């Protein structure tokens, strides 16, 4: 018998060789029905895999990102099977799961068009209906090479040849279709339900323009048609909410040909930006941060010392000053180190929290630039915390609390991911182990669930990333906490300890917005340009019906400006219905309609962006309502 520990802490005994799926069925038929894969002793596995030893088991459904990836990777195999049935001469490249979907790259004599989608989807439905089991088989290198050479699958042969000698080589078969794959997969094709092909693109094999151009078919899949319908609806909604279009229409920001990747902020966009920055400053002041500002251009020697010259050079811009090499900063950290070094510090001063709204520049290829979401110049809301080793856990928890406060204010749910040591890292194994354990301990003490991204940390330390979810269920990685033992060493940062000797501080790098520009892009799409009143560039627009109300309109404007309410008056001789429609298109929270009745009663007729006509009310009551909304930062 073997003993299986489950995620809830319970333990069960089973005969050796029982499969993960059989364990799931024993626990609950519903659990087995919803499960798509499992994690046994830390390894992602097929549900059909047998268990031969004691261990810990976690069963994954589609609602877990790892489960969704398995589900969609299995979907890519089914799509490839359908394509091979329809066009047998097609050669297979790769077919991974991606965010909210999957793709497969094909080399085919047939040129795919959207007209083929219905035909492929019909074949996919037949494969799902047949409910073929996904069968895994491990092969020797020689067997695998012979198998795919015999089938003229040259891309698979190349992949096998690139694998390390000690690598396990596996294939998966469903029906007549066989693919080189590490897995895992769902138990059978019948587990898949709603698959839809989305788009086509060209893609070079292995990302190199020296290699053949392949045809990439993008698709998505869900376990329920209703989930697919909801996704497609939100996809259409996302097109309507495109921040680039709304940015132009609402007069917030623009990108011009003279500065690709370098955004211009218009007056209304600056109001929005300043509100975000003012809120950031106030909350950081309360949390014990001091604000600094460091130069945009610093010498090559500094970037060599920080490690960026060796590890980040391809993303940097350079210049020459007085025959010396300089770089435009891609990150704020080295400047923060120099600020710390300007004074001697005692252990009694620590932790020292220094924040900076720092403009950075990073070289991005023109093909990946996208509005405010991917730019070449952006402002990071950086902060660097210098602390004693025994303060690490409390400081990390303090940053987590601050991140939670910010995201909750904007109505963003979020999930957390922990990224561990990458291949190109600096520092000792011991430092990395201490840093990673500290992040894990802080997350555990906060009672937070988190995913682990092996090898995805920064080159100088492990990190916690916060992925917020917008109103269209898209996720965006914004906040991050990076624990760093390397930079204090490289910059010889010290403090005088209780023993009178010099010691090395530990350091946290962290951001909350991430990039202010990108955060504004996310907010614009999240709210569809209808920002909460406290953020709205124009909070109130006054609409007099005739010239008789113009003086009264200016009187109301002056009253509201005294209360720091952002207000406009529309004095154009247009019909009131036209003015109201335009105010709604501009997403203004409140429109005040002034006619003779309002003038006589010294009141205002209030129209709310969401609630519609609120009727007439005294001006003082309206001002109180708006001020309360702004002060509470209501959504």
What pLDDT does residue 601 have? 93
Could you tell me the sign of the dihedral formed by the alpha carbons of 445, 451, 454, 455, in that order? negative
Active-site pick, 329, 463, 467, 587: 463
DSSP line for 290-354: EE----SEEEHHHHHHHTHHHHSGGG-EEEEETTEEEEE-S-SHHHHHHHHTTS--BTTT-SEEE
CATH of the domain at 219: 3.30.980.10
Of the pLDDT bands very low, low, confident and very high (cuts 50, 70, 90), residue 427 is confident
Q: Which of 46, 333, 353, 539 is catalytic?
A: 333
Same domain, 517 and 547: no
What's the domain range around 95?
66-237
Rounded to an integer, what distance in angstroms lies between the CA atom of residue 170 and that of residue 48?
Answer: 15
Give yes or no: residues 595 and 510 share one domain: no
37-46 b/e with 16+ CB inside 10 Å = b? Answer: bbbbeeebbb
Please indicate whether residue 397 is annotated as part of the active site: no
pLDDT of residue 424: 76
| Active-site residue, 374 included | no
**Do 365 and 495 belong to one domain?**
yes
CB neighbour list of residue 186: distance below 8 Å, 6 or more residues apart: 36, 37, 47, 70, 71, 74, 134, 192
Is 311 a catalytic site residue? no
Within a domain: residue 20? yes
Catalytic residue among 64, 69, 382, 484: 382
pLDDT at residue 460 above 80? no
Query: What is Dmax (Cα atoms) for the chain?
Result: 93
pLDDT band at 423 (very low <50, low <70, confident <90, very high): confident
Radius of gyration of the chain (CA): 29
At 456 the pLDDT is: 85
Asked if residue 147 and residue 92 are part of one domain, the reply reads yes
Q: Rounded to whole angstroms, how far apart are CA atoms 56 and 172?
A: 25
User: Looking at residue 231, what is its pLDDT?
Assistant: 94
Same domain, 415 and 358: yes
The model's pLDDT over 129-147, given as tens digits with 9 standing for 90+, comes to: 999 999 999 999 999 999 9
Whether residue 48 is found in the same domain as residue 71: no
Q: Is the peptide bond before 351 cis (omega within 30 degrees of 0)?
A: yes
Q: Is residue 324 part of a domain?
A: no
pLDDT in tens, 583-610: 999 999 999 999 999 999 999 999 999 9
> Does the residue 246 lie in any domain?
no
State the CATH number of the domain containing residue 40.
Answer: 3.10.20.30
Indicate if 275 and 421 belong to the same structural domain: yes
Cβ atoms of 498 and 555 within 8 Å: the answer is no
**426 lies in the same domain as 553:** no
For residue 531, tell me if it sits in a domain: no
Mean pLDDT of 138-163: 94
CATH number, position 558: 3.40.50.800
Among residues 61, 84, 103, the one where a domain terminates is: 61
117-130 helix and 65-86 helix, angle to the nearest 10 degrees: 110
- Pick the catalytic residue from 380, 391, 486, 539: 380
Task: Produce one character per residue of 213-223: b if its CB has 16 or more CB atoms within 10 Å, e if not.
Answer: ebbbbebbbbb
Residue 372 lies in a domain: yes
Count up the domains in the chain and report the number.
4
Same-domain status, 156 and 206: yes
* Structural element, H or E, at residue 81: helix 65-86
What is the reported pLDDT for 99? 86
Residue 474 is among the residues annotated as catalytic for this protein: no
With respect to residue 245, please indicate whether it lies within any of the assigned structural domains: no
Containing 358, the helix (H) or strand (E) segment is strand 352-361
| CATH number for the domain harbouring residue 477 | 3.30.930.10
Indicate whether 180 and 281 sit together in one domain: no
The reply to whether 478 belongs to the active site is no
Active-site residue, selected from the candidate residues 509, 510, 526, 579 = 509
181 has catalytic annotation? no
Is residue 384 annotated as a catalytic residue, yes or no?
A: yes
**Residue 312 is encoded by which pair of tokens?**
């980040």
Judged against a pLDDT cut of 90, whether residue 208 lies above it is answered with no
Contact partners, residue 123, CB within 8 Å, separation at least 6 = 82, 85, 86
Same domain, 41 and 88: no
Cis (ω within 30 of 0) for the bond into 575? no
* H or E stretch at 184: none
pLDDT (average), residues 367-396: 94
Average pLDDT, the chain: 94
Residue 415 has a pLDDT of 93
Q: Of the candidates 498, 526, 554, which is a domain's last residue? A: 526
Residue 309 lies in a domain: no
93 and 138 inside one domain: yes
> Could you tell me if residue 176 is inside a domain?
yes
Q: In this predicted structure, what is the pLDDT of residue 309?
A: 87
Which residues does residue 463 pair with via DSSP β-bridges, in sequence order?
Answer: 419, 482
Q: Tens digit of pLDDT for each residue in 325-356?
A: 999 999 999 999 999 999 999 999 999 999 99
Which one of 362, 376, 526, 541 is the catalytic residue?
Answer: 362
Q: Is it the case that residue 476 has pLDDT exceeding 90?
A: yes
pLDDT in tens, 557-573: 999 999 999 999 999 99
């Amino acid at each position: 018998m073997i003993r299986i520990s489950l995620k809830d802490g319970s333990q069960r005994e089973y005969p050796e060789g029982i499969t993960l799926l059989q364990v799931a069925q024993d626990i609950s038929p519903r659990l087995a029905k919803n499960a798509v894969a499992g994690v046994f002793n830390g390894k992602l596995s097929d549900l059909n895999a047998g268990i031969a030893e004691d261990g810990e088991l976690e069963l994954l459904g589609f609602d877990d990102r790892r489960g969704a990836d398995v589900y969609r990777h299995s979907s890519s195999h089914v799509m490839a099977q359908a394509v091979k049935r329809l066009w047998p001469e097609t050669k297979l490249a790769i077919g991974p799961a991606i965010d909210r979907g999957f793709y497969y790259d094909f080399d085919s004599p047939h040129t795919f068009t959207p007209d083929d989608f219905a035909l492929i989807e019909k074949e996919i439905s037949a494969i799902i209906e047949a409910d073929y089991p996904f069968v895994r088989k491990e092969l020797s290198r020689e067997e695998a090479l012979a198998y795919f050479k015999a089938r003229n699958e040259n891309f698979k042969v190349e992949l096998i040849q690139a694998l390390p000698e000690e690598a396990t080589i596996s294939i998966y078969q469903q029906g007549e279709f066989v693919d080189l794959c590490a897995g895992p997969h769902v138990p059978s094709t019948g587990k898949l339900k709603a698959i839809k092909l989305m788009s086509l693109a060209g893609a070079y094999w292995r990302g190199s323009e020296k290699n053949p151009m392949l045809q990439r078919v993008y698709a998505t899949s869900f376990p329920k048609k209703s989930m697919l319908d909801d996704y497609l609806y939100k996809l259409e909604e996302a097109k309507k909410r495109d921040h680039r279009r709304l940015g132009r229409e609402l007069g917030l920001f623009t990108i011009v040909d003279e500065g690709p990747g370098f955004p211009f902020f218009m007056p209304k966009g600056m109001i929005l930006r300043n509100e975000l920055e003012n809120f950031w400053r106030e909350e950081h002041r309360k949390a014990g941060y001091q604000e600094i500002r460091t130069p945009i251009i610093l010498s090559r020697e500094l970037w060599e010392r920080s490690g960026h010259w060796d590890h980040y050079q391809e993303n940097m811009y350079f210049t020459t000053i007085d025959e010396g090499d300089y770089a435009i900063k891609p990150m704020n950290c080295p400047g923060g180190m120099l600020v710390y070094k300007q004074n001697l510090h005692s252990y009694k001063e620590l932790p020292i929290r220094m924040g900076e709204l720092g403009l950075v520049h990073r070289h991005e290829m023109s093909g990946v630039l996208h509005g405010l979401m991917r730019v070449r110049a952006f402002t990071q809301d950086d902060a660097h915390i210098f602390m004693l080793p025994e303060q690490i856990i409390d400081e990390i928890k303090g940053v987590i609390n601050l991140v939670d406060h910010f995201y909750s204010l904007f109505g963003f749910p979020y999930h957390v991911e922990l990224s561990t040591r990458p291949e190109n890292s600096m520092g000792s194994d011991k430092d990395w182990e201490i840093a990673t354990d500290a992040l894990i301990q802080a997350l555990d003490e906060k009672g937070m669930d988190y995913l682990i991204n092996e090898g995805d940390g920064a080159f100088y330390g492990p990190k916690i990333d916060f992925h917020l979810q917008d109103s269209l269920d898209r996720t965006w990685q914004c906040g991050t906490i990076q624990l760093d033992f390397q930079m204090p060493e490289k910059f010889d940062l010290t403090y005088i300890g209780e023993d009178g000797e010099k010691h090395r501080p530990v350091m946290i790098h962290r951001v909350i917005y991430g990039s202010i520009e990108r955060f504004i892009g996310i907010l614009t799409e999240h709210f569809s340009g209808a920002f909460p009143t406290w953020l709205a560039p124009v909070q109130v627009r006054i609409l007099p019906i005739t010239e008789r109300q113009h003086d009264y309109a200016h009187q109301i404007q002056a009253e509201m400006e005294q209360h720091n309410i952002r207000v406009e008056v529309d004095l154009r001789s247009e019909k009131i219905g036209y003015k109201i429609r335009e105010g709604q298109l501009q997403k203004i929270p409140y429109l005040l309609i002034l006619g003779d009745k309002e003038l006589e009663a010294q009141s205002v007729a209030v129209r709310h962006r969401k609630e519609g006509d609120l009727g007439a009310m005294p001006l003082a009551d309206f001002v109180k309502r708006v001020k309360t909304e702004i002060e509470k930062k209501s959504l």
